[in-house]
Amino acid sequence: MNSPIDEIEGIDQDIDDSLGEYPIDTVLIRNESRTVHDVLRRIEKGGYIMDPDFQRDFIWSVEKQSKLIESILMRIPLPVFYLAENSEGRMVVVDGLQRLSTFRQFVNNKLKLKLPKQKELNGKNFDDLPPKLQNRIEDCNLILYQIDSKVPTQALLDIFDRVNSGEPLSRQQMRNCLFMGNATKFLKSESSSYIFIQATGSSLKPEKMRDREFINRYCAFKLLGIEQYTGDMDDFLANALKKMNSLNERDIERLSLDFRTSMKNNVKVFNRHAFRKHYSLNEGRSVINASLWDVMSVGLSQYSENIVEARAEQLRAEFYELLKNQDFLDAITLGTNQVNRVKDRFSMFNQLLSEVLGD
């Protein structure tokens, strides 16, 4: 039986967002008031990032957008907006993108109000309104809370968890927002590749970017190595994205080639059981294991397809024996983000590869 989509083991998923571990003065959030007109002007100049990948589509209905405009015209106070400053000094919209998008749509005459109980407004766009009401919209003050770029990555993600008032975002969606560039383009491209989807058996939800998170993990261990892993997976994955954003086109192509080679090798050896605990190709498919993904994706990216295919049977047999090792099982199942667990699973799996495939 195939495993349900997005059931995953071997990954520490409990997030403690108490913020208690961060010194008070490191969580720097300032607030300011700006008019709708000023904010839209900054958006047009590229000062605010309005279309991060995690938001995907503008999903508010015309009715909901219309009610927001109606609220402004009725002078009803709006909830605050949260923005985060990225390393380039641009402001990324964390919470409030739908509202800002609505203002932008309406002021640019791309939205006709649907307010049947407000006859003077129903069916009107911005240019149809009298100057008095146009001014009321453009002069509306928005309260913006801005998270400083110096806030530690994990603290920033914890703040994201707290303030987002819409559909809860996954950690990877948050990272995707903060580190847009070559890195996020790479994750998007590779996650849609046929070989990645085949290798993972379509078991990772693209809606929450779980597929991109796994590729992010590969890139982190591939580019940074276990030597730079200190036990903070959020920080490790963020550092990998920063590193990827600094790579040139040739380095990105090399990373892609190695990644796809790994996916092909894992499919050649383990077929639909790639990255899953199993002891035979004939048994039912179990859930995907993030810790096995780490070692198997990085490990098999280092060998040619010809060598792996020639020794596939021996590699499978040795892997099944390794799964009987309690230390290895613990390293891919319990407390998997702990430094010793990460080092143990990489050490044991790399030893297996060395013995079967050579150095």
The per-residue pLDDT for range 80-123, each reduced to its tens digit, is 888 888 777 788 887 788 899 899 999 999 999 999 999 999 99
| Three-class SS state of 92 | strand
Q: What is the Rg, in whole angstroms, of the alpha carbon atoms belonging to the chain?
A: 24
pLDDT of residue 4: 41
pLDDT of residue 175: 85
Give the span between the Cα atoms of 176 and 183, in whole angstroms.
9
Q: What is the pLDDT along the chain (359 residues), one digit of tens a residue?
A: 344 444 788 787 544 445 445 555 555 778 899 999 999 999 888 888 876 554 555 578 999 999 999 999 999 999 888 888 877 778 888 778 889 989 999 999 999 999 999 999 999 999 999 999 999 999 999 999 888 877 777 777 777 777 665 555 678 887 887 788 899 999 999 999 999 999 999 999 888 899 999 999 999 999 999 999 999 898 899 999 999 999 999 999 999 999 999 999 999 999 999 999 999 999 999 999 999 999 999 999 999 999 999 999 999 999 999 999 999 999 999 999 999 999 999 999 999 999 999 87
Residue that has been written with the tokens 């383990």 in this structure: 270
Q: What is the DSSP letter of 206?
A: T
> Do residues 86 and 49 lie in contact, with contact meaning Cβ atoms separated by under 8 Å?
yes
pLDDT of residue 50: 74
Find the largest Cα–Cα distance for the chain: 79
Give the span between the Cα atoms of 179 and 219, in whole angstroms.
14
Residue 56, token pair as written in the block: 């995907």
pLDDT of residue 299: 97
Q: Which of 176, 229, 220 is nearest to 49 (CA)?
A: 176
Residue 340, token pair as written in the block: 């010793």
- The letter for the amino acid at 114 is K
pLDDT of residue 58: 59
Give the span between the Cα atoms of 346 and 36, in whole angstroms.
52
First to last CA, the chain: 37
**Mean pLDDT score of the chain:** 88
| Three-class SS state of 286 | coil
pTM summary value: 0.78
| Alpha-carbon distances of 311 from 218, 276, 355, 356, 357, rounded to whole Å | 23, 20, 11, 7, 7
Give the span between the Cα atoms of 126 and 147, in whole angstroms.
32
Give the span between the Cα atoms of 187 and 190, in whole angstroms.
5
The tens digit of pLDDT for each residue in 329-340 reads 999 999 999 999
> Do residues 282 and 300 lie in contact, with contact meaning Cβ atoms separated by under 8 Å?
no
Q: Judge residue 53's burial from the number of C-beta atoms within 10 Å of its C-beta, 0-12 exposed, 13-18 middle, 19 or more buried.
A: middle
